[in-house]
Structure 1
Amino acid sequence: MIRGAVLGSPVAHSLSPRLHKAAFEFLGIQGEYDAIDLDVNQLQDFFSTKGNDFDYFSLTMPLKEAVCTLDVNVHSLPALINSGNTLLKNGTSWDLMSTDGSGFLKALKHDQVIASESTLILGAGGTARAIAQSLNGVSKNIDVLARSSSRREAIETIIDSSRCEFKSWNSDINFADYSLIVNTTPAGAADLLSERITMREDATFFDVIYKPWPTVLARKWSDMGGRVINGLELLIYQGIDQLSLLLKQELNYEEISQHLRKALAS
């Protein structure tokens, strides 16, 4: 019996339990998966006292940075971006990994989006840094529009094979300069930017949020005729990546993702 859970706050809206249970069913695995509401101050105590009752954890806001401080084996990617979304039990120890970036690239591939020109990332938190690192050297230009300058150094450190510019939230942004825009900010944080949207015909808007849906930005982009990718796609592919790591086996992403879309839509 495999036991997992998503940790974060709030998590009442999370579709991770439905996703992982549906994946267990598809793969013929006996498993349980819960949603546990924890804030940053509760993480250490929970992990110390209850961690060994589980085989793996998915981390969401606001724990993706805090989890890096636990006494676990932090792999090179989460160490670089100071963000992890996957904790796997490994014997008597734990491994911290990140599947946000790899899941993001698989979601782009599924929608046949090529991120080779100019990308704008809204936000500079853990998910943003994972996505920025995954596009490093893939997208020629990566600009990051952040609400705080405190993460400028962290962003500039992880992007060394693409041109990168860190922009303040009030910068005069021309959305039409970008072929890919990725929103990683919390629900509602970027709504006012919808008043400034201009777009190019070949551009794609990827919103990592899936609830509430559509977001104000996603609706505006769609109404203007642009391509929009729902955050469910990131949830699906980063989740399959987690299961592949947990089970230590290659999975058929196309078959599983089709099953999970149906399960999440029901």
Structure 2
Amino acid sequence: MVAPRRCAVVGRPITHSLSPVMHRAAYDALNLDWSYDAVEVGAGGLAAFAAGLDDSWRGLSVTMPLKREAAELAVHRSDDVAFLGVANTLVREQDGWHASNTDVPGALTALREAGVECVRTVRVLGGGATAASLVLAAHRLGALRVTLQLRDPSRAGETLDVARALGLEVEVVGLETPVVEHADLLVNTIPPAATAGRAHELVEASGAVFEALYDPWPSPLLRAAEEEGVAACSGLDLLVHQAVLQVVAMTGQVVDPQVLRVPAFDAVAAR
């Protein structure tokens, strides 16, 4: 039997996190006497927090604004972490913390679950760590061209650098730029309210939709996708699949995604 260990999700703000209900459900299903908490840790505080943990601690799920700090803290980085410079998972091994990014494979699983197996053109609303991870996921589905739409195009740096490093053809435009070309995949990483007035316009010009956020639920884009009959997956789907991979990394055991999906969707529905 695996000895009791401690894990947690860290970041700020953290009270909204669904990670505790998912990971605790996984531990119950796997008959593990482990604990999983939510701990608020602000920017610049991850290294000090990690240094204060005793040997009972096994893993950390890392959310904003600590994903870059997690990558820097680790003694070993997965290929995706080394490429992106951000990590959402830290697992303590004998030589220190090992960092991985389960957002990328989690996104791939969510897309394939929605029937999206291949894309060539991608439209991304927003920038930052999430957008960069999803551009990498899209590249692995065959993406060749990406359009980045931001309220301030000068802030596309992080995602733009990733797209260029992947050899993608890239265009950066303003968020309100009219949609004139079809995209195989629409990715949204900005607050859903910002797309409310254009949801149908954006969805009609897309072969599939990836709505990375889940508050409010369902978002305007997800509603429009359902009404238009366009394949879609959500931030909840991503959250479930990346958490499944975190459970494997931390416990060494495989759990059915449905074990995590039910409490996560129930928690969102209750909000």
With structure 1 as the length reference, what TM-score do the two structures score? 0.85
Contact 2:10 2:61 (C-alpha < 8 Å) held by counterparts: yes
Letter in 1 for 2:107: F
Contact 1:80 1:158 (C-alpha < 8 Å) held by counterparts: no
**Cα displacement (A) at 1:56:** 0.5
Task: Report the counterpart of residue 108 of structure 2 in structure 1.
Answer: 105
Contact 2:132 2:158 (C-alpha < 8 Å) held by counterparts: no
Task: Report the counterpart of residue 240 of structure 2 in structure 1.
Answer: 236
Task: Report the counterpart of residue 183 of structure 1 in structure 2.
Answer: 188
Higher mean alpha-carbon deviation, 105-114 vs 48-57, is at 48-57
Indicate yes or no: 2:98 matched with 1:95: yes
Pair 1:197–1:51, CA change in 2 (3 A): farther
Task: Report the counterpart of residue 12 of structure 1 in structure 2.
Answer: 15
Task: Report the counterpart of residue 259 of structure 1 in structure 2.
Answer: 259
Tell me, in whole angstroms, the C-alpha distance in 1 between the residues paired with 2:54 and 2:79: 22
String of CA shifts for 1:184-236, please: whole Å, max 9, x gaps.
23x35733663682434872221121233122333344444433322111011
Contact 2:186 2:206 (C-alpha < 8 Å) held by counterparts: no
Task: State the secondary structure of the residue aligned to 1:128.
Answer: helix
The count of residues paired between Structure 1 and Structure 2 equals: 261
Task: Report the counterpart of residue 21 of structure 1 in structure 2.
Answer: 24
String of CA shifts for 1:91-146, please: whole Å, max 9, x gaps.
14011110101000011111212232211122221121112112225223222223
Higher mean alpha-carbon deviation, 219-228 vs 105-114, is at 219-228
Task: Report the counterpart of residue 174 of structure 2 in structure 1.
Answer: 169
Task: State the secondary structure of the residue aligned to 1:112.
Answer: coil
**Cα displacement (A) at 1:50:** 2.9
Q: 2:213 aligns with which of 197, 209, 212?
A: 209
Task: Report the counterpart of residue 63 of structure 1 in structure 2.
Answer: 66
Q: Which runs of 5+ in 2 are unaligned?
A: 267-271
Higher mean alpha-carbon deviation, 36-45 vs 160-169, is at 160-169
Contact 1:5 1:56 (C-alpha < 8 Å) held by counterparts: yes
With structure 2 as the length reference, what TM-score do the two structures score? 0.83
Task: State the secondary structure of the residue aligned to 1:167.
Answer: strand
Pair 1:168–1:51, CA change in 2 (3 A): farther
Task: Report the counterpart of residue 84 of structure 1 in structure 2.
Answer: 87
**Cα displacement (A) at 1:12:** 1.0
Tell me, in whole angstroms, the C-alpha distance in 1 between the residues paired with 2:92 and 2:72: 16
Q: Which runs of 5+ in 1 are unaligned?
A: none
Pair 1:210–1:246, CA change in 2 (3 A): same
Task: Report the counterpart of residue 74 of structure 1 in structure 2.
Answer: 77
**Cα displacement (A) at 1:42:** 2.5
Letter in 2 for 1:263: P
String of CA shifts for 1:53-89, please: whole Å, max 9, x gaps.
5211111122112322325323332121111100010
String of CA shifts for 1:8-63, please: whole Å, max 9, x gaps.
11121111101111111222222111111222132232122237552111111221
Q: 2:154 aligns with which of 149, 153, 169?
A: 149
